[in-house]
Amino acid sequence: MRPVIPALALLLLAVAPSLAAASADLSVPAARTAPLSLEQAVALVQRRTGARVVRADELHEGEQIIYRLRLLAADGRVMTVRVSAATGQVD
C-alpha cells in the first residue's frame, strides 16, 4: 500500500498545472476586464489637461468599458472627455 502514496503524489504534481489552467478559464472574459482603472484614467486626464476631474462615470458599450470624465479647468471651463479602459485613448 505504501508505494501507492508516492505515485499519487506524482500524479497530483503532474495534473496541478492543467487544473490551474482550467480554473483560469472560469475567470471574467478578457473583454470585460479593464487594464486601465477609473482611478488611473482620472490621474491620466488630470495630468494631460491640468484640469480637475469633478465627475467620473463608467459606461459599458457592448464589450468595451469607457470612462466619461467631466473636468473643470482653472479658467472655469467645463469639459467632458471619454477614456477607453482597454487602450487609454482619450477622446
Q: Calculate the average pLDDT of the chain.
A: 79
The pLDDT value recorded for residue 26 is 41
Mean pLDDT of 73-77: 97
All three cell numbers of 89, joined, read 485613448
**Residue 34 banded pLDDT, cuts 50, 70, 90:** low
Tell me the pTM.
Answer: 0.62
Spatial separation of the C-alpha atoms in residues 55 and 60, rounded to whole Å:
17
The pLDDT value recorded for residue 25 is 43
Count the alpha carbons within 13 Å of 70 in the hemisphere toward its beta carbon. Answer: 6
The pLDDT value recorded for residue 6 is 58
